[in-house]
Amino acid sequence: MKRFGKMGVVLALTLTMVMLGACGNNNGGNKAANTGNAATEAPAANGGTKTEAKDITLGFSQVGAESGWRSANTKSIQDSAKEAGYTLKFSDAQQKQENQIKAIRSFIQQKVDVIAFSPVVESGWDTVLKEAKAAGIPVVLTDRAVDSKDTSLYVTFLGSDFVEEGRKAGEWLSDQYKDASEDVNIVELQGTTGSAPANDRMEGFAEVIKSNPHLKVIASQTGDFTRAKGKEVMQAFLKANKDIDVLYAHNDDMALGAIQAIEAAGLKPGEDIKIISVDAVKDGMQAASEGKINFIVECNPLLGPQLMQVVQNVVDGQAVEARIVTEESTFTSEQAKEVLPGREY
């Protein structure tokens, strides 16, 4: 009986030490302790620690749902976050900067681990980004950049090179009309005023075509990246200009709206008016395969997997490149016809 009593005392003391050890790990700043998760970190490849996906909360503010590209981008992010096991707090800004700023402040209040967003416009972000920095929450820019001079306000920008997209559009056009002896009249459907893709796609295009004096942009106006606005503006272009040779649209949705206006005017898109577009979403590729769009510069919306990897690296304290460019291609009508059957978006 005495032996049993000694063993009981030893067992009791052992259990008490284990319990005290567990309580000692219950730090107020440890999210896993508050949620009851026993293990929050595992060895990382670089010798540091790797946070488990279930403990990562990502706040993401999307521009809106203005186009097929944007819908594909949203789905990619939502699906990738789910696959990674992250908690995703998603906000649709409906193309309004004030809505995005409210969403970012909400993410700060909720103490998410990382904030990512695709800015509606380039300017006006410093104040809210400084608030995120003060709260110790890293920010990742996706798809679109900001014009802040303080690059410490965000970790990285993941997305396309919009200037290069404009250059590709201009290079194709320049090649098509390299032997032109008369003026080639171009109309341009710009994206949302003040947005990075609108500014940059216009800049890259203008940079290339200026080498050919016959390539002249006779009208340029925003179509706000939407199909309806693209149709409306193209109708106005057709009424104001008798001779239009080329349409350069900053995205497929505006090009598709413009095609409706061109056909309604009794003209053949792709023949009477050459069309260049950017995005390469399925509807645009379908139009290209039918010869209605002559050339498409790809802008890949499937950024989800890359974003989740960036988020994981940021949380783990690993080095992240300040600029991450997505891989993209271009398509003529014939090339679009070839790849369309297997197109993901």
What CATH number is attached to the domain comprising 138? 3.40.50.2300
Rg (Cα) of the chain, in Å, rounded? 26
pLDDT given for residue 37 in this prediction: 31
Tokens for 203, please give them. 């800049």
Residue 47 has pLDDT above 80, yes or no: no
Instruction: Tell me the H-state helices in the chain.
Output: 2-24, 31-35, 68-84, 97-109, 126-134, 162-176, 196-209, 227-240, 252-264, 282-289, 304-315, 333-339
| End-to-end Cα, the chain, rounded Å | 76
Same domain, 273 and 321: no
Residue 191 lies in a domain: yes
Q: What pLDDT is attached to residue 344?
A: 80
Domain hosting residue 170, numbered range? 162-299
Higher-pLDDT residue of 1 and 77 is 77
> Do 112 and 141 sit in the same domain of this protein?
yes
**Residue 182 DSSP code:** S
**Same-domain pairing of 207 and 262:** yes
Domain assignment present for residue 30? The answer is no
Q: What is the mean pLDDT of the chain?
A: 88
Q: Do 116 and 57 form a contact (C-beta atoms < 8 A)?
A: no
195 and 290 within one domain? yes
In terms of domains, do 314 and 283 share one?
no
Do 286 and 316 belong together in one domain? Answer: no
257 with 171, same domain? yes
User: Residue 49 has what pLDDT?
Assistant: 56
Question: Is residue 313 scored above 80 in pLDDT?
Answer: yes
Tell me how many domains the chain contains: 2
User: How far is CA 58 from each of CA 138, 226, 321, 344, rounded to the nearest angstrom?
Assistant: 10, 28, 19, 25
Structure confidence by residue, pLDDT tens digits, 84-137: 999 999 999 999 999 999 999 999 999 999 999 999 999 999 999 999 999 999
Whole-model pTM: value is 0.80
Q: Are residues 134 and 211 in the same domain?
A: no
pLDDT tens readout for residues 187-210: 999 999 999 999 999 999 999 999
Cα(35)–Cα(38) distance, integer angstroms = 9
